[in-house]
Amino acid sequence: MSPQRKAREGENIIATNRAAYHNYFVVETIEAGMELRGTEIKSLRDGGANLREGFIRINGGEAWLVNVHISPYEQGNVNNHDPRRERKLLLHRAEIIAMGTKIKQKGLTLVPLRMYWKRNHAKLEIGLVKGKRLYDKREAIAARDARREIDRAVKTRA
């Protein structure tokens, strides 16, 4: 089973960023909490999140989740949240500093990989990633197709 679809015990996946696994090599993953408003939590319970264009910005010793769309809550009123607002990530200062130095030294990027529930708290899995070249993407597609063909052949024999 692919890493983006594998749910660990006690976790319910809200959204995954499948494009990130296609466009990047995941070097390291970190779990972070998010500072959310009430209508955002209710919307996440309905499964209204999109991580595709999101990224993490480190600014002033804090980590911010940028450009992630959490749909407005349908039963919300005029106090409903802005769908693309920047959300503060809850991380230890040492983790933020370590990520910041890796980004500057190695030219890596921080991307949200998946959002999930863990003991009634919304968590975000952040990936420290390195961009893939076009030939890397083609190679990954070819390997996936070959694996699919092998699985089909084994299935028909059994």
- Characterize 39-59 residue by residue with b for buried, 16 or more Cβ atoms within 10 angstroms of its Cβ, and e for exposed: bbbbbbeeebbbbeebbbebe
Task: Walk me through the domains of the chain, giving residue ranges and CATH numbers.
Answer: 12-132 (2.40.280.10)
Full-model pTM: 0.79
Tell me which DSSP letter residue 141 carries. H
Residue pLDDT, tens place only, 11-33: 789 999 999 998 999 999 999 99
Residue pLDDT, tens place only, 36-79: 988 888 888 888 899 999 999 999 999 999 999 988 887 777 77
Mean pLDDT, the chain, whole residue set = 88
List the one residue out of 61, 112, 63 whose CA is nearest residue 87.
Answer: 63
pLDDT for 132 equals: 87
